[in-house]
């Protein structure tokens, strides 16, 4: 939905759409302009110099946000026996095997993250057409197919965000809330950008990060100087 109305016009005041801001200035301006009646999400968008149609240019990974995402994440785990009990003890919201698969097949997908033990992948694999398009398919590359169920659940609950480049070469994610302090948001932005940089594929040529933008749910986007988000 397009961002329009008096609040959006007010939020755009004092912003040069053609300017490139430091991450510190961008975060401050976004927080100052996040005046909605709810706690707006702060989103990051990164335009990458890749063509994900080529396998050696796919960008995918997970980032442990140091200050959490501010979201309440519902986690589903496909596991049996002691691993199922481990998942429940770690705080998973849904735990099951064939019964959970049947629930998903019926269209009841009341979770934001899906984790599976390796032995459950034959069951989970049959759900690919349902979970895949929603970005919920477990994958060992991002730590959601694992024997260490406890760590995976705690990571998801603690603010880990998965990312995957879209067709146009863009990676997007929510990296916090407008109620976070400036330092918390800056820390999360730098951690996310660092995670994306570490996921640079072998087939990427030339400039990898072409553009970085930050925005709040109801606010305008600001272009961020890539050198200002270096985690070092």
Q: Give percent above pLDDT 90 in the chain.
A: 76
Q: Give percent above pLDDT 70 in the chain.
A: 93
Q: In terms of domains, do 153 and 171 share one?
A: no
Q: Is residue 2 part of a domain?
A: no
> Is the model's pLDDT at 12 over the cut of 80?
no
Q: Is residue 50 part of a domain?
A: yes
Range of the domain at 25: 17-68+160-229
* Helix segments in the chain, DSSP class H: 6-12, 23-33, 81-90, 98-105, 121-125, 128-131, 149-158, 182-198
Q: In terms of domains, do 92 and 153 share one?
A: yes
Q: In terms of domains, do 53 and 24 share one?
A: yes
Counting DSSP H helices and E strands in the chain, the numbers are: 8, 10
148-197: pLDDT as tens digits: 999 999 999 988 898 999 989 999 999 999 999 999 999 999 999 999 99
Q: Is residue 151 part of a domain?
A: yes
Q: In terms of domains, do 37 and 59 share one?
A: yes
Q: Which of 158, 184, 214 is the last residue of a domain?
A: 158
Q: In terms of domains, do 23 and 39 share one?
A: yes
Q: Which of 109, 126, 158 is the last residue of a domain?
A: 158
pLDDT at residue 87, rounded to an integer: 97
pLDDT at residue 1, rounded to an integer: 46
Start-to-end CA distance of the chain, whole Å, equals 37
Give the mean pLDDT of the chain: 91
3-state secondary structure of 144: coil
Per-residue pLDDT band for 5 (boundaries 50, 70, 90) equals low
Q: Is residue 173 part of a domain?
A: yes
* CATH at 150: 3.40.50.790
pLDDT at residue 67, rounded to an integer: 94
210-229: pLDDT as tens digits: 999 999 999 999 999 999 99
CA geometry: angle 23, 197, 118, nearest 5 deg: 125
Q: Is residue 178 part of a domain?
A: yes
Please, which residues have CB within 8 angstroms of residue 125's CB and are 6 or more apart in sequence? none
Q: In terms of domains, do 60 and 87 share one?
A: no
pLDDT at residue 211, rounded to an integer: 95
Please, which residues have CB within 8 angstroms of residue 77's CB and are 6 or more apart in sequence? 84, 87, 92, 94, 95, 96, 114, 115, 116, 149, 152, 153
Please, which residues have CB within 8 angstroms of residue 169's CB and are 6 or more apart in sequence? 47, 48, 49, 50, 51, 52
104-153: pLDDT as tens digits: 999 999 999 999 999 999 999 999 999 999 989 999 988 999 999 999 99
Q: Is residue 190 part of a domain?
A: yes
Q: Is residue 11 part of a domain?
A: no
* CATH at 48: 3.30.190.20
Q: Which of 100, 128, 158 is the last residue of a domain?
A: 158
Q: Is residue 33 part of a domain?
A: yes
Q: In terms of domains, do 127 and 194 share one?
A: no
Q: In terms of domains, do 189 and 133 share one?
A: no
Per-residue pLDDT band for 18 (boundaries 50, 70, 90) equals confident
State how many domains the chain has: 2
Q: Round to whole Å and give the CA distance between 96 and 105.
A: 14
SS3 content of the chain, % helix, strand, coil (to 5): 40, 20, 40
> Is the model's pLDDT at 6 over the cut of 80?
no
Q: In terms of domains, do 170 and 207 share one?
A: yes
Mean pLDDT is lowest, of 11-15, 32-36, 93-97, for: 11-15
Side-chain-side CA neighbours of residue 83 (13 Å): 20
Q: Round to whole Å and give the CA distance between 195 and 197.
A: 5
């Amino acid at each position: 939905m397009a961002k329009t109305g008096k609040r959006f016009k007010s939020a755009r005041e004092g912003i040069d759409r053609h300017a490139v801001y430091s991450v510190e200035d961008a975060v401050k301006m976004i927080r100052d302009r996040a005046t909605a009646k709810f706690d707006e999400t702060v989103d990051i968008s990164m335009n990458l110099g890749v063509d994900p149609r080529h396998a050696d240019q796919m960008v995918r990974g997970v980032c442990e946000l140091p200050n959490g995402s501010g979201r309440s994440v519902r986690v589903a785990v496909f596991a049996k026996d002691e691993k199922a009990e481990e998942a429940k003890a770690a705080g998973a919201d849904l735990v099951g095997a064939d019964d959970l698969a049947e629930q998903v097949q019926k269209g009841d997908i009341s979770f934001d993250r899906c984790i599976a033990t390796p032995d459950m992948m034959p069951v989970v694999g049959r759900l690919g057409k349902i979970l895949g398009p929603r970005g919920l398919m477990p994958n060992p590359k991002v730590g959601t197919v694992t024997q260490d169920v406890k760590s995976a659940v705690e990571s998801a609950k603690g603010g880990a965000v998965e990312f995957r480049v879209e067709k146009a070469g863009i990676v997007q994610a929510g990296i916090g809330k407008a109620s976070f302090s400036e330092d918390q948001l800056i820390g999360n932005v730098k951690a996310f950008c660092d995670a994306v940089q570490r996921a640079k594929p072998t087939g990427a040529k030339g400039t990898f990060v072409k553009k970085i933008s930050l925005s709040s749910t109801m606010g305008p986007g600001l272009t961020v100087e890539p050198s200002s988000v270096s985690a070092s």
